[in-house]
């Protein structure tokens, strides 16, 4: 099990952007009416099983880089940092503009970042942004760069719409067989960005203390897509997920990682003030918190109204939690990531400064969201 310690890395800003279009679970069930009628499925089943009442969609055909640029600008503005200090840009979402070049290239151009900035994509299912945070933190700790921006945008419309069409078209499906498709109907859209800086550049002092990684790769086949494709307009992804076993094995992998995280941070379980977990569903959250012995009141959740937004779920939830006052100065915070594969990545943070002003909103509230983590 890997363990990484940091003395010089701070999380300076976390920003998010949400689509305007809200899609309820009831609306998805209405579109699944042929399947529901044939199998005599009760209405409300999707929300009852997952705890997700709604999720959001970007406009059809929108490239992930478009939202990532918007969110990256928010993070830079919230921190008030000179973009000349950005030494690395990592785009970490599952969704991307093309197979090549890296989606980070268009984002780098859109943010007008320095020419000597490292620019690349990272892909690791729901942990892509957290892996990017780790890579940037390592570069900062080594003194290679002063600051780095990690961001991504997930788009759920293609997966959800393709899944609905497939479920309605296949007349041979049984109640048991459709369980593997339920996870695909929980997916939501969103965008997040995390700015990490050297402590000497920081105005927040939000210290990244340590990180722990653990893999249970023998379960790599519990959740997988079809062949690798780009996110172009004609992409028609299909996911196959053994949700129950994935949930169980993921939580089992999380337990030793969590114990190692506390040990590396020098914290006891009672000293942990707040948590933010990857957002999958209410059953997963409940099982994870119970297994780790964590108080649900100290955790912050968005899955009920945003769905599972993949790699941006955890940082986006953290940003919304910051905006709503979940984090207070002096909090010891654990970011608990679990992704298919199965991989676990957890970060311990000593939080010092919560936002002193809420992000401004232009247009509808859903368009903007930035956690300004400095005074």
Catalytic-labelled residue, pool 33, 100, 229, 244: 100
- The residue among 184, 66, 202, 107 whose CA lies nearest residue 147 is 202
Name the DSSP class of 139.
H
Quote the pLDDT of residue 182. Answer: 85
pLDDT of 373 > 70? The answer is no
Question: Is residue 141 annotated as a catalytic residue, yes or no?
Answer: no
pLDDT, the chain, mean: 87
pLDDT of 255 > 70? The answer is yes
pLDDT of 23 > 60? The answer is yes
pLDDT band at residue 177 using 50, 70 and 90 as cut-offs: confident
Catalytic-labelled residue, pool 10, 117, 126, 277: 126
pLDDT band at residue 280 using 50, 70 and 90 as cut-offs: confident
Residues 100-154 have pLDDT tens digits of 999 999 999 999 999 999 999 999 989 999 999 999 999 999 999 999 999 999 9
Distances (CA, A) of 165 to 34, 184, 240, 357: 10, 12, 15, 44
pTM as predicted: 0.89
Quote the pLDDT of residue 189. Answer: 98
3-state secondary structure 34-79: HHHHHHCCCCCHHHHHHCCCEEEECCCCCCHHHHHHHHHHHHHHHH
Quote the pLDDT of residue 240. Answer: 55
Q: Which residues pair with 239 in a beta bridge?
A: 225
Residues 285-323 have pLDDT tens digits of 999 999 999 999 999 999 999 999 999 999 999 999 999
Mean pLDDT score, 34-61: 94
Quote the pLDDT of residue 55. Answer: 97
d(CA 177, CA 336): 31
Question: Is residue 33 annotated as a catalytic residue, yes or no?
Answer: no
Superfamily of segment(s) 2-20+60-156+188-356: Thiolase/Chalcone synthase (3.40.47.10)
């Amino acid at each position: 099990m890997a363990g990484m310690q940091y003395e010089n890395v701070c999380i300076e800003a976390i920003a998010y952007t949400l689509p305007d279009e809200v899609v309820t679970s009831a609306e998805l069930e209405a579109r699944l009416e042929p399947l529901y009628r044939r199998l005599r499925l009760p209405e409300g089943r999707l929300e009852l099983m997952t705890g997700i009442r709604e999720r959001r969609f970007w406009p059809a055909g929108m490239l992930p880089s478009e939202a990532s640029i918007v969110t990256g600008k928010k993070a830079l503005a919230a921190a008030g940092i000179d973009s000349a200090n950005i030494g690395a840009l990592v785009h970490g979402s599952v969704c991307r503009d093309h197979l090549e070049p890296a989606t980070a290239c268009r984002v780098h151009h859109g943010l007008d970042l320095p020419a000597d900035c490292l620019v690349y994509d990272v892909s690791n299912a729901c942990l892509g942004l957290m892996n990017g945070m780790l890579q940037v933190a390592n570069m900062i700790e080594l003194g290679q760069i002063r600051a780095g921006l990690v961001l991504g945008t997930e788009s759920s419309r293609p997966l959800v719409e393709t899944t609905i069409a497939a479920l309605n078209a296949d007349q041979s499906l049984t109640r048991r067989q459709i369980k593997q498709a339920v996870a695909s109907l929980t997916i939501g859209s969103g965008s997040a960005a995390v700015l990490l800086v050297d402590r000497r550049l920081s105005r927040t002092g939000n210290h990244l203390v340590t990180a722990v990684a653990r893999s249970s790769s023998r379960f790599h086949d519990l959740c997988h897509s079809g062949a690798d494709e780009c996110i172009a307009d004609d992409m028609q992804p299909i996911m196959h997920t053994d949700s129950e076993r994935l949930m169980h094995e993921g939580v089992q992998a999380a337990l030793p990682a969590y114990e190692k995280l506390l040990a590396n941070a020098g914290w006891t379980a009672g000293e942990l003030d707040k948590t933010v977990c990857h957002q999958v569903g209410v059953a997963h959250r409940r099982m994870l918190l119970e297994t780790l012995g964590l108080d649900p009141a100290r955790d912050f959740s968005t899955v009920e109204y945003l769905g599972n937004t993949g790699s941006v779920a955890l940082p986006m939830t953290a940003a919304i939690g910051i905006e709503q006052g979940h984090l207070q100065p002096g909090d010891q915070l654990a970011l608990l990531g679990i992704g298919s594969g199965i991989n676990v990545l957890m970060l311990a943070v000593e939080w010092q400064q919560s936002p002193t002003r809420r992000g401004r909103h232009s247009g509808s509230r859903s368009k903007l969201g930035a956690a300004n983590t400095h005074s």
